Amino acid sequence: MEPAKSFRDLKVYQAAREAARSVFEFSNSFPPEERYSLIDQIRRSSRAVKAMIAEAWTRRRYKAAFVNKIDEALGEAYETQSWLDDALHSAYLSEEKFEELDRRYDAIGAMLSRMIDRADDFCKHVPATDYRGMVREGEESPFTDH
């Protein structure tokens, strides 16, 4: 397996991005009075999962910072599950859709937990990256003439 060159290569990021898209789509059917409460909260937490993964990727030079951001992503995933509970309880979400999304966030949580357990594997060699977290190859130093 080839190592990830960007946070976008991580399966957990891809899963979180897709889950956030699903949350956005189904929350469009919520009643208008939920716009500034449940809709806003569930969309923010679901999107924060993938954002925290991206941020953790750029902080791999420092294991503690990496673990902290992955742990925050895990917290956002569980927060999303809590909002899913509210959506189900309010009958805004079918039991079937709830189960599907809940399983997806369980899987994302498991992947994030494994990343924390294997933080050394992610942080042991961090190649130089650009502002997007993409590996830079053969770039001149901004600090010397060489």
Q: Is residue 140 part of a domain?
A: no
**For position 131, what pLDDT does the model report?**
56
Q: Is residue 144 part of a domain?
A: no
- Mean pLDDT in residue range 103-131: 87
Q: Which helix (H) or strand (E) holds 91?
A: none
Q: Is residue 146 part of a domain?
A: no
What one-character DSSP code corresponds to residue 4?
P
Structural domains in the chain (count): 1
Q: Is residue 99 part of a domain?
A: yes
Residue 4: which pLDDT band, with cuts at 50, 70 and 90? confident
Average pLDDT of the chain to the nearest whole number: 89
Q: Is residue 145 part of a domain?
A: no
- Rounded CA separation 140/41 (Å): 44
Q: Is residue 141 part of a domain?
A: no
**Exposed, middle or buried: residue 70 (CB in 10 Å: 0-12, 13-18, 19+)?**
buried
Q: Is residue 54 part of a domain?
A: yes
pTM for this structure? Answer: 0.84
Q: Looking at the predicted structure, is the pLDDT value of residue 46 above 50?
A: yes
Q: Among 43-47, 59-63, 99-103, 126-130, which is the least confidently predicted range?
A: 126-130
Q: Looking at the predicted structure, is the pLDDT value of residue 47 above 50?
A: yes
Contacts of 128 (CB under 8 A, 6+ apart): 135, 136, 139
Q: What is the CATH number of the domain that holds 46?
A: 1.20.1440.60
Domain that holds residue 24: 7-123
